Structure 1
Amino acid sequence: MDESLQNSDLVRGSIDTIILSVLLTNDNYGYQIIKEIDKKSQNRFELKEPTLYSSLRRLEKQKMIESYWGEETQGGRRKYYSITELGRELYRKNCAEWELARNLIDRLIRVEKDVEER
């Protein structure tokens, strides 16, 4: 099953948490965040720039991340984002909620083999 998850409501509802997961290991700038998400998803999910930047603005407004300008490079200065302690707490909370929801959904939609064979 090598389908794109581009339009998956489950994925779209987790964009902020996905972005926070990328920022857990390193500060990053927009384009690199998109590339990391593409790599982590094994090319099955492409985060679009408008979605990324609206999430980054929302997360920054909520104090989950902070931004700063990096050194000037060939293409100009890049705006970097770093996760705050509040962002780390939100990431952990969202992951715990995801685990609980995933377990519940698995129980609710799983069909036992004997029922499936009828």
Structure 2
Amino acid sequence: MADVATRDSVSDLIRGNIDAIILKTLSGADSYGYEILKSVATVSHGEYEMKEPSLYTSLKRLETQGYVESYWGDETQGARRKYYRMTVEGAQELTDATERWIHVRQIIDSLLLQDGSEQ
């Protein structure tokens, strides 16, 4: 049961950074939904699997904010796929979000890893 609780806690911590994770995934190349989900699972070595509703909610938000654009692919076989690409504004947001994450991580490290000598 501890593994499930740990996995849920990790997912809760990651959830606040889904937009940045998606932007990072799109920084390499345009992608469609399933491919983004697969990439996140692969890059995290299976430690985090983004849920489909979370992905599409985030993509819609990112598109509304102007950080991603979508377009329909021209597949010759199978269903048409909606692709997403990061905009210039999205690239700046990814840079900003990464800086915010580094700053927050430093604060949390200071608070949780303190040895009591600074009190």
What TM-score comes out, normalization by structure 1 length? 0.87
Q: Is 1:103 equivalent to 2:106 in the alignment?
A: yes
Which of 67, 72, 76 aligns to 1:69? It is 72
Percent identity at matched positions? 46
Runs of 4 or more above 6 Å deviation: none
Residues 11 and 48, structure 2, Cα contact 8 Å, conserved in 1: no
The 1-side partners of 2:44 and 2:8 are apart by 9
Q: Is 1:16 equivalent to 2:16 in the alignment?
A: no
Size of the aligned set, in residue pairs, is 113
Q: Is 1:85 equivalent to 2:83 in the alignment?
A: no
Question: Pairwise CA RMSD of aligned residues?
Answer: 1.9
Q: Which residue pairs with 1:31 in the alignment? A: 34
The 2-side partners of 1:92 and 1:111 are apart by 28
Residues 16 and 59, structure 1, Cα contact 8 Å, conserved in 2: yes
The 2-side partners of 1:104 and 1:96 are apart by 13
| Gap runs ≥5 in structure 2 | none
Higher helix share: 2
Cα offset for 1:110? 0.8
1:67 is paired with a residue whose SS is strand
Residues 67 and 90, structure 2, Cα contact 8 Å, conserved in 1: yes
The 1-side partners of 2:9 and 2:59 are apart by 19
| Gap runs ≥5 in structure 1 | none
